[in-house]
Amino acid sequence: MSRDPIFIAWDAAFADASLAIRQQRYAQALAVLRPLIGDAARKAKQWPPYRHALAGYALALYRHGEVNEALLQQSRLLLLAPNDAEARGNLLLLLQTEAIEFPDSAEFRRVLHGVLGQTELSDYAVPACRALLADAAFRQALQRLRGDDAEVVTALRKGRLRPLLQAPLLQLLLRNTLIPQPDFELALRRLRKALLMHYTADPHRPPQTGKADWDFIAALAQYQWLTEYAYAEDPEESQRLAALALQLQAGRDRPAEPAWQAALTYFALYRSGLDLADSRSLFCQSSVSWKPHLQALVREWQACLRERTLAATVERLTDIADPVSEQVRRQYEEHPFPRWRQDPQARQVQSAGQWLRGLAPDLALSADFDGDIAVLTAGCGTGLEPISLTRQIRIGRYLALDLSRASLSYALRMAGELGLRDRIDFKQADLTRLDGYPERFDLITASGVLHHLAEPLHGWRILCNLLKPGGVMLVSLYSEAARRPVAAARQLIAANGWQAEPDRMRQLRQAILAGDYPELAPLLQWRDFYNLGMFRDLVFHPCEHRYTLPQIAAQLRQLNLRFIAMRGLPPALNALYHADYPHDPNGSDLANWASFEARHPNAFRSMYGLLLQKPPP
């Protein structure tokens, strides 16, 4: 059977366009593809290359700077091929393009929901919020939350908030990631109060709640758990909540009853279920069948209870005698940091040598780095770094230390769930007590740790002594320039004698959100602001040192460590550096980085990531 001549013409046009794309002649490619895609859409099923042509069209649009149209075409492609990994990756790339405008299209949001549902969301929460705000009905519902309490309750009762309550993308965010958007927090806080007021208006006759609303309320409750209950509450809310807690306590022996689980769902908007008396038997009782909307939240609480059991099994390597270490330990016992969730899967396991040369191509390494190396992570927190490294590189021995048992039990639980329990030796220790420790390591990491010691240089020297000659050290330290607003907040806190108590911290957050401290407004751009433990880490830490790059250079000389490269910088900033310093392609000159930082003072907001080496023997 002969082919339709139009398909033959399209094949030829597509071949021309593909050549133009390969040769980076995007305007020419678009001149061919624009009419082709328009015509071929109607016969997409009969002309198999259509999908590829659409992918080429989206790519050419992107490269040609037509990002909004590229976004539309990319999402159209994903409607045809939802599992196309490359198309998903390209859509994610487009989401992070600053100037992008999101279409007000339910179809687009559905595609976005599908893609984000399979992605680690933390980098995409802000664009996802912008996509939600492109929806006129969503915007209007959000607007209604600016009214006073009574107006918000009325809007809720009359179903006027439905576009917000029933937005699947918002629920996806709420269940999975912090949303670093002040406007969203202000709105969600009001909505939370309205939900509580509505539910508790008549304790004898709670209102009917539809399934869709339960899903939203439970998602908002899960979000509060994720933020570690960071939102402030007013006295009226506290009062209603106390009554709700009593009601739950009274019905404590009938947790399977729908009315009890309904009350628990509302309670969870403000407090963890673990705050209820005898929570272990409550949530570990296998006989209780939890309503579907509550199940994810109950699983979080159950995981936390497992960690408490694991805490008793953590072995101690050193004592913790230093008063600063003890204060720091207490903070991280109360707020293990960070509460990460996504499995840091690696594409492949490679040798440490390959991995390190990927970070610094000119790094001279001994043959040991081609085999199974010995790694120490000092201050491993909740285990994210050891677990990611174990996933990525070949390691024979991994010792991961921290002061905090709660953090270590989080790490143990995650390592267990990911099948890595035997691969990492998690121990409780104060790194400043490791002098005289006999083992030596090829790689030592300490991320966000040394600047919390009373005497960072002393601790750093101890780690240097544990490093083999020619060994590599990855150290991350706070930047003085990037943390100016943090320093201002710390000053305010010290001047007022505020302690790191949950209500105090919530009040300060709320005051910053309300604009009471304009000089602290830049903190709203830090993701850490949106979780209570991370906020504590950000501005209430008992001990914090900050550095300039010349100070770091001086300390490296004292420690006899060589600076090899800077890591962890966002790609856009890295590109700026390389454009500015073409003669330093590996970024191995600290003086250049210092002048770069003078021009980009926020560049190291997520710390200086130093790749260092001890001179070979």
Ligand X SMILES: C[S@@+](CC[C@H](N)C(=O)[O-])C[C@H]1O[C@@H](n2cnc3c(N)ncnc32)[C@H](O)[C@@H]1O
Instruction: State the residues that interact with ligand X by CB under 6 A.
Output: 325, 328, 332, 337-338, 378-381, 384-385, 401-404, 407, 430-432, 447-449, 452-453, 537
- Cβ proximity to ligand X, 336 vs 353, nearer residue: 336
CA distance linking residue 424 with residue 411, whole number of Å: 10
CA distance linking residue 154 with residue 137, whole number of Å: 17
Under DSSP, is residue 425 helix (H, G, I), strand (E, B) or coil? Answer: strand
> Given the complex with ligand X, which of 452 and 605 has the nearer CB atom?
452
Q: Which is nearer to ligand X, 224 or 407 (CB)?
A: 407
DSSP string covering 453-494: SSSHHHHHHHHHHHEEEEEEEEEEE-BTTTTHHHHHHHHHHH
At closest approach, how far in Å is the CB of 278 from ligand X? 30
Question: Please, which residues have CB within 8 angstroms of residue 610's CB and are 6 or more apart in sequence?
Answer: 473, 474, 475, 476, 477, 552, 563, 566, 567
Distance in Å, CB of 369 to ligand X, minimum: 22
Which residue(s) pair with 393 in the sheet?
350
Residue (247 or 404) nearer to ligand X, CB: 404
In sequence order, the 6+-apart residues with CB closer than 8 A to the CB of 118 are 88
Shortest distance in whole angstroms from residue 377 CB to ligand X: 7
Burial 267-283 (b: 16+ CB within 10 A, else e): bbbbbbbbebeebeebb
CB of 535 to ligand X, least distance (A): 13
Would you say 387 and 378 are in contact if contact means Cβ atoms under 8 Å apart?
no
Q: Letter for the amino acid at 603?
A: A
Closer to ligand X by CB, 404 or 510: give it: 404
Closest contact distance (angstroms) between CB of 489 and ligand X is 17
Q: How far is the CB of 464 from ligand X (least distance, A)?
A: 15
For the chain, give me the number of helices (H) and strands (E)?
28, 8
Output the smallest distance, CB 357 to ligand X, in A. Answer: 23
Q: 99 is written with which tokens?
A: 């100037």
Cβ closest to ligand X, residue 266 vs residue 478: 478
What would the two tokens of residue 510 be?
A: 């709320």
Measured from the CB atom, is 176 or 404 closer to ligand X?
A: 404
User: Do the beta carbons of residue 479 and residue 410 sit within 8 Å?
Assistant: no
Q: In terms of CB distance, is 76 or 536 closer to ligand X?
A: 536
Cβ nearer to ligand X, comparing 247 with 382 = 382
Give min distance, CB of 314 to ligand X, in A: 13
The least distance separating ligand X from the CB of residue 406, rounded to whole angstroms, comes to 9
Nearer to ligand X, 75 or 382 (CB): 382
Name the minimum Å distance from CB 301 to ligand X: 22
Q: How far apart are CA 489 and CA 403, in angstroms?
A: 26
Q: Are strands 395-402 and 373-378 parallel, antiparallel or unpaired?
A: parallel
Phi first, then psi, for residue 563 (nearest 5°) are -80, 125
Torsion over CA: 404, 407, 411, 412 (sign) = positive
Q: Report the nearest approach of ligand X to the CB of residue 349 (Å).
A: 21
- Spatial strand order of the sheet with 562-566 comes to 315-316, 425-428, 395-402, 373-378, 441-447, 467-477, 608-613, 562-566
The shares of helix, strand and coil residues in the chain, as percent rounded to the nearest 5, are 60, 10, 35
In the complex with ligand X, the residue whose CB is nearer, 30 or 462, is 462
**Smallest distance, Å, CB 365 to ligand X?**
23
Amino acid identity for residue 498 in this structure: W
Asked whether the bond before 571 is cis by omega within 30 degrees of 0, the reply is no
What does each C-alpha distance from 130 to 100, 278, 369 come to in angstroms? 10, 42, 45
Cβ-based nearer residue to ligand X, 442 or 537: 537
The answer to whether the beta carbons of residues 137 and 169 sit under 8 Å apart is no
CB 432 to ligand X: min, Å: 5
Closest residue to ligand X, judged by C-beta, is: 381
Residue reference for tokens 């401290």: 517
The Cα-based distances of 306 to 23, 296, 313, 412 in angstroms read 57, 15, 11, 10
161 vs 98, 108, 142, 167, 400, CA distance in Å? 29, 21, 8, 10, 48
Min dist. Cβ of residue 353 to ligand X (A)? 23
Q: Would you say 216 or 608 has its CB closer to ligand X?
A: 608
> Which residue lies nearer to ligand X by CB, 392 or 404?
404
